[in-house]
Structure 1
């Protein structure tokens, strides 16, 4: 069936997909993932990464050994330090961040709130926050909530959806009244990569702090937080770090800011001496102060297997394959899908395009429903976008070609 559907595409593109797979230095990693027969093609790795086969062993082993055998003793033996140890590993493998600046804790939403609230409090007398209208809803909602809570004003950047927020956009919005700028490194709709270092410098020139959402870049795109002088960052772990549904997020706080920030959710695990059960809150030193409640230890297990692979493959090599994958999607769209009315709504320049490509068509929502029935799984972004999310270690070029051939057949039937 796969070979039959591939006849929907020009033969040179099918040959190219097979050639790219044969020459792919990362191709062997695909076999380490769970690949059920019912999934013909998975183009949603930027929403939820595939599980690793190794995780099948890790989870029951944890139940039998650490949890079942060690029981509550495991808190003293390893679990208390796991959020910080795992945070340091994410920092080293995927963020270019020195130890002691990253922790795994809550959901992305909760961590965004913590760091947004802490950041604006660290800039007293400043009453404005800069954010953009194309950012993920949670980011916008958090900014709106904090602004309402504190009587602050939001200066909204309204970027071109296909190009994203630029240095110039930020420079035109920041002022002496700006406390915080919150942006995404990779745009969740278009995949535009913002100039993280350039924007950070502009924000600092205005005396403000910057908070980066790394959900669509961690594990995929080199980030360079320390080198860019980034203040704060948050990212999820269930996309390119394959931590599973609801896996906890991470927070990064630059070393020189940690002691001056007061996070608003002062739970017992962020206390300097959590087991004294004292009458008043005293924040711990370093990144532990950004932890609130009991860490979700079970949720931290699967991502460790993916971090092994990311560290072994290297983010630079992963990024190189990501560029080839997204370029291939654009090539197929131009050659085979454009005649059916499909347009590419992501940046054309590889250096500013992240790990997904958004394809637009008026019938896309109905087409995606039919794709899911066939075991081809992208996701839909309103009003008319198919987002092809390509996770380099688990996605093959023939898999992508197969998915787009199915899309071609469905849209061709629609046109007919």
Structure 2
């Protein structure tokens, strides 16, 4: 590795710097470069959770359901839709885990497209997505059309067109690839899939809160995402799902539960789905688990997704410039074009696994991705440019 003077690559200005102080500082952190796996908690959450336990749960007890808890999942869904998804009210709800919601959306899609027998997914898609597609295909006698893309890229309209036909039920694709950070042209891919009468389902786990989405304008059918990455909901936080209003009347929840029923408290009647997005709900909403997510949405609403995206591009561009300068023998396995790059990048190097293990012990926290990737996740509201500088310099030393 060549010797380089400190700060050979100048950091850009940071108009969102004042948000950094709103997060809980880590005791031994030198650089946290994994915000796209688990977002940092807010200082506000340190106060809101015990306040809820003491005053709302402890003080109001079961009366809390009638005083706002029953509608919390829809209200929070509407906030996610407005701040992050470009979605009008009444189409997004918080419920279950990402895994369960993906299953629900895919299973409902199979019902909605009788006579078709193919599902589309990337061969390098996130494991959960692949596992669910494989199980549903096996259960229903369907064929999987596997889509291959370069390791440093992802799906394109041309690529998806090669695999879509009148047999296609639905395509399940990540809006931002979990490994490369490739941000798909979601509008064009959606249009290509729908041209054959198929449904487009986007997994937005690595996109929501990081890139501006316009699900309504793009005509997306369904979307899903976790809330513990850029939405900072905490480990195991409840996920969210979006179903376009035009599909509500025929959406059939494969896991019917009491709170998704038209009359939840009519305990002796047969199941009849609730109107609107609430029909996607199965069981009792995770009220406590929504608290950190609500706190982070307040920050996102204040900052605005456009400003968040602008800093995200600056952060990843700065990291790439440092890597080019300090780690010339590494391979950037992510798009250099910021228009196609989400909020994280992956660097391939034969010493990646060993380097990440070493860095974690030093308080520098990137992420290892098999077989040779160091993934650097940069959450715009909680990551500073100085942190990126420290982290990439430490990575260069560890890889050397």
Q: TM-score range with shorter-chain normalisation? A: over 0.9
- Post-superposition offset of 1:411: 2.2
Structure 1 distance, partners of 2:3, 2:369, is 25
Per the TM alignment, residue 9 of structure 1 is displaced from its structure 2 partner at its CA by 4.5
Please give the alpha-carbon distance, in whole angstroms, between the structure 2 residues aligned to 1:68 and 1:185. 41
Distance in structure 1 (CA, Å) of the matches to 2:8 and 2:284:
51
Aligned to 1:93: 83
Preserved CA contact (<8 Å) 2:261 2:271: yes
CA drift of 1:219 comes to: 0.6
Which of 101, 106, 110 aligns to 2:100? It is: 110
Q: Partners of 1:84 and 1:237 in 2: how far apart?
A: 15
Q: Distance in 1 between matches of 2:123 and 2:111?
A: 23
Distance in structure 2 (CA, Å) of the matches to 1:8 and 1:377? 23
Counterpart secondary structure, 1:277: coil
Paired position in structure 2 for 1:402? 390
The alignment partner of 1:173 has SS state of: coil
Alignment of 1:3-22 (within 5 A): 9-13=4-8, 16-17=10-11, 20=12
Give 1:377's match in structure 2, choosing from 365, 370, 378.
365
- Are residue 30 (structure 1) and residue 48 (structure 2) matched? no
Rounded to whole Å, the distance in 2 between the matches of 1:322 and 1:286 is 34
- 1:189-211 deviation digits (Å, cap 9, x = unpaired): 00001110001111111001110
Whole-Å Cα distance in 2 between the matches of residues 10 and 178 of structure 1? 55
1:411 aligns with 2:396: no
Residue in 2 aligned with 1:359?
347
Counterpart CA distance in 1 for 2:56 and 2:184 is 42
| Cα RMSD for the two superposed structures | 1.1
Deviation at 1:8, TM superposition (A): 6.5
Find 1:132's aligned residue among 103, 122, 135: 122
Alignment deviations for residues 60-89 of structure 1 (CA, whole Å, 9 cap, x no partner)? 100111101110010111110000000001
Distance 1:372 1:361 in 2: 17
Q: Supply the distance in 2 between the matched residues of 1:12 and 1:409 (Cα, whole angstroms).
A: 15
Q: Structure 1 residue 12: deviation in Å?
A: 4.2
Q: Structure 2: how far apart are the matches of 1:317 and 1:125?
A: 45
Matched, 1:173 2:173: no
Deviation at 1:356, TM superposition (A): 0.5
> SS of the residue aligned with 2:34?
coil
Q: Check conservation: 1:218, 1:235, Cα contact below 8 A.
A: yes
Partners of 2:152 and 2:332 within 8 A in 1: no
For 1:19-98, what aligned pairs fall within 5 Å after superposition?
20=12, 23-98=13-88
Q: Any unmatched runs of 5+ in structure 2?
A: none
Q: Distance in 1 between matches of 2:146 and 2:187?
A: 20
TM-score (norm 1): 0.94
1:284-308 CA distance string (max 9 Å, x none): 1101110001111111000111101
Structure 1: runs of 5 or more not aligned: 1-6
Residues in 1 aligned to 2:348 and 2:123: alpha-carbon distance in whole angstroms: 20
Partner of 1:4: none
Could you tell me how far 1:315 is from its partner in structure 2?
Answer: 0.5
TM-aligned CA deviation for residue 279 of structure 1: 4.2
- TM-superposed deviation, 1:10: 3.4
**Closer, same or farther: CA 249–8 of 1 in aligned 2, 3 Å:** farther
The match for 1:329 among 296, 319, 322 is: 319
> C-alpha offsets along residues 78-115 of structure 1, whole Å, 9 cap, x if unaligned?
11000000000100010010000000000000000000
2:210 equivalent in structure 1: 220
Using the size of structure 2 for normalisation, the TM-score is 0.98
CA distance in structure 1 between the partners assigned to 2:348 and 2:392 by the alignment: 13
How many angstroms apart in 2 are the aligned matches of 1:8 and 1:402?
Answer: 15
CA distance in 2, matches of 1:249, 1:10: 44
Q: For residue 379 of structure 2, what is the aligned residue in structure 1?
A: 391
